[in-house]
Amino acid sequence: MFASLKSIGAYIPSKKLTNSDLEKMVDTSDEWIVQRTGIKSRYLARDDEYTSDMAYEAAKVAIDRAGISRDEVDAIICATITPDYFCMPSTACVVADKLGIKGAMAFDISAACSGFVYALNIAKSMIESGMRKHVLIIGAEKMSSIVDYNDRTTCVLFGDGAGAAIIGATDDKSRSILDVKSSSDGEYQDFLVTEACGSRNPCSKDVLKNGLQYLKMKGNETFKLAVNTLTQDVFEILKNNDIKSEDIDWFVPHQANYRIISAVAKKLGMSEDRVVLTVEKYGNTSAASIPMALNNWYEDGKIKNGDLLLLDTFGGGLTWGSALLYFNGD
Ligand code: UT7
């Protein structure tokens, strides 16, 4: 028995934030943002719209497209660094309640932008071991809740949204998830960090006054590490599975920066017409980035049943990961 990606769904919030909007908020320019990142717009959730709301919308679509009932979902994994609640309940439990699912195992994972690939890895193991039958995996983020809109080095990069997928079983290896790699190196924990409100800096007036609740990033250092690590990672997963880059139908990278994507794709020998690119319109949506990108290409009729996908991601922790899988949705 193999695990397979049976469906994909996503939710994009309605409030569009363009580069020209940001020009009015901080000292930046459309030219700088486009040249350095490839981003032209991003979408933000309403004040009264939370990570679980976006996750719920994406999950509904993924469950419907998988052709299963909600009762058949027996595990829910939500990858997020912007949960509804700081400690508990998990966003996965809140989503389960919204979906009317009772009794399923439900938990969040924190692996920043690599969260969806990490969740895929866990779901694959659950299915292959026979532990669960249908695992709902979600990447959902309200990045606008941890972004400082006075900090031009981060606020131009991030957007909100959610993506979800159903992982189930198949006997057909040519429709399965072949391999998932998930890795980390805590030595670089200070490259992407929200300094509060954890046990190290519990929430206080001082914390809020000093803006320690916001995301901070050493962008340039992260950029350099990302390109080298991702290139090595994708080469390794291809080699381990005896697959050549020309066999890949779609390269689906984390949508952080067009320059990172293009550098890795070039090293892989991938022409741009086989690269899934949504960074221009959604910006960086962290754990939601890969499933939102997959969904966009699926809804445009580009990704089809049987297509071989190479996922690849990098984020805070530091964490990174890649996956080789056939799309098994209708
Ligand atoms: O998703 C998780 C993983 N994250 C990533 O993979 C992100 C990786 N990093 C990046 O994508 C890029 O490093 C950034 C897009 C964040 C920054 O691009 P960069 O080419 O590395 O720029 P930089 O940080 O080296 O900054 C260059 C200059 C600086 O000015 P000086 O010191 O040269 O005078 C910055 O202050 O650009 C300035 N700058 C800006 N200027 C206009 C930084 N942000 C902005 C801005 N608008 N928004």
Sign of CA dihedral 256, 7, 246, 179: positive
Average pLDDT over residues 246-254: 97
| Ligand 1 atom nearest 156 alpha carbon | 48
Tell me if 135 sits within 8 A of 127, measured CB to CB: yes
Cα(152) to centroid of ligand 1, in Å? 9
Amino acid at 140: A
At which residue do the structure tokens 């020309």 appear? 246
Residue 151 CA to residue 235 CA, distance in Å, equals 35
Distance 170 CA to ligand 1 centre (A): 44
- Nearest residue (by CA) to ligand 1, atom 8, is 223
Of all protein residues, the one whose alpha carbon is nearest to atom 24 of ligand 1 is 220
In angstroms, what is the span from residue 194 Cα to ligand 1's centroid? 18
Which of 19, 78, 93, 113 does the annotation list as catalytic?
Answer: 113
Question: Which amino acids bring their CB within 6 angstroms of ligand 1?
Answer: 28, 32, 36-37, 113, 152-153, 156, 219-220, 222-223, 226, 256-257, 260, 284, 314-315
Average pLDDT over residues 242-264: 97
Confidence category of residue 270, pLDDT binned at 50, 70, 90: very high
In whole numbers, what is the pLDDT of the chain averaged over residues?
A: 97
Tell me the CA–centroid distance for residue 223 and ligand 1, in Å: 9
Q: Of 19, 121, 284, 328, which residue is the catalytic one? A: 284
Question: Which atom of ligand 1 is found nearest the CA of 257?
Answer: 11
Residue of minimum CA distance from atom 22 in ligand 1: 220
- Burial track 225-247 (b if 16+ CB lie within 10 A, e otherwise): bbbebbbebbeebbeeeebebee
Ligand 1 center–CA 262 separation, angstroms: 17
The pLDDT score that the predictor gives to residue 253 is 97
Q: Which residue puts its alpha carbon closest to atom 44 of ligand 1?
A: 153
The pLDDT tens digits of the residues spanning 24-59 come to: 999 999 999 999 999 999 999 999 999 999 999 999
Residue of the CA atom closest to atom 17 of ligand 1:
219
- Say what the pLDDT of residue 317 is: 97
Q: Is the pTM of this model over 0.75?
A: yes
Ligand 1 atom nearest residue 315's Cα? 2
How many Å from the N-terminal Cα to the C-terminal Cα in the chain? 20
DSSP 132: -
Helix orientation angle between 289-299 and 51-66, rounded to the nearest 10 degrees:
40
Q: pLDDT value at position 28?
A: 98
What's the pLDDT at 231?
A: 94
For residue range 132-180, list pLDDT tens digits in order. Answer: 999 999 999 999 999 999 999 999 999 999 999 999 999 999 999 999 9
- Nearest 5°: the CA angle 155, 160, 164 is 150
- Ligand 1 atom 45: the closest Cα is on which residue? 153
284 tagged catalytic: yes
Report the SS3 class of residue 268.
helix
Q: Is 254 a catalytic residue?
A: yes
DSSP secondary structure letter of residue 131? S
pLDDT for the residue numbered 69: 98
Catalytic residue from among 78, 254, 295, 296: 254
pLDDT, tens only, 184-222: 999 999 999 999 999 999 999 999 999 999 999 999 999
The structural domains of the chain, ordered by start, are: 2-172 (3.40.47.10), 177-326 (3.40.47.10)
Check residue 306 and give left, alpha or beta (phi > 0: left; psi -120 to 50: alpha).
Answer: left
Q: How far is CA 23 from the centre of its chain?
A: 27
